[in-house]
């Protein structure tokens, strides 16, 4: 990890400030470093900001992505929908978010697209998926074992994601 002095460091897990990875991401700013302590995290993370997500190592920091109970799947959909996913799916005339449902880590950046849809562009102003969160600074996912994902798998980067490094993870 480079240039950690310029970032705010947020900690998750035992002795940390945040009880979940999602809570730390939600509180973070672009470029922040999120250190995730060893342990088991039963969540479907939506990385909607360009942060550096650092686990303690694939042998000690585990994300269980099985979206059960139903409330976890509902929370995933609410989070993604809150970023503008329904409007973007309507523009595409298909729903990429259902195909990538509830992976261990769902990475979504900012993308601007025209009003209307792919077949009939509208005359209104452009729309933006995940506004205010361009991945224009280095971001990272490192040091996790991710298992139990259903349709979305381990890590799924859907749109507007650049400058992302994925390293030293074990996806099962």
Query: The pTM is what?
Result: 0.91
Question: Could you read off the pLDDT of 19-70 as tens digits, one per residue?
Answer: 999 999 999 999 999 999 999 999 999 999 999 999 999 999 999 999 888 8
DSSP-assigned beta bridge partners for residue 107: 47, 157
State pLDDT tens for residues 113-138: 999 888 888 888 999 999 999 999 99
Cis peptide before 69 (omega within 30 of 0): yes
Is residue 149 within 8 Å of residue 65, measured between CB atoms?
Answer: yes
SS (H, E, C) the chain: CCCHHHCCEEEECCCCCECCHHHHHHHCCCCCEEEECCEEEECCEEECCCCEEECCCCCCEEEECCCCCHHHHHHHHHHHHHCCHHHHHHHHCCCHHHHCCCCCEEECCCEEECCECCCCECCCCCEEECCCCCCCCCEEEECCEEECCCCCCCEEECCCCCCEEEECCEEC
pLDDT at 129: 95
């Amino acid at each position: 990890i480079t240039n950690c002095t310029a970032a705010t460091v947020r900690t998750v897990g035992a002795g940390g400030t945040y009880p979940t990875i999602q809570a730390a991401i939600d509180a973070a700013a672009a470029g922040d470093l999120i250190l995730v302590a060893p342990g088991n995290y039963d969540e479907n993370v939506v990385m909607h900001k360009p942060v550096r997500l650092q686990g303690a190592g694939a042998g000690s920091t585990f994300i269980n992505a099985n979206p059960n109970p139903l409330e976890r799947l509902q929370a995933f959909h609410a989070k993604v929908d809150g970023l503008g996913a329904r409007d973007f799916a309507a523009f595409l005339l298909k729903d990429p978010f259902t195909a990538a449902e509830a992976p261990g880590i769902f990475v979504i950046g900012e993308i601007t697209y025209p009003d209307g849809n792919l077949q009939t562009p509208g005359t209104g102003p452009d729309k933006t998926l995940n506004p205010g969160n361009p991945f224009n600074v280095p971001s990272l996912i490192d040091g996790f074992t991710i298992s139990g994902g259903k349709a979305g798998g381990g890590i799924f980067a859907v749109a507007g994601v650049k400058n992302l490094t994925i390293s030293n993870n074990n996806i099962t």
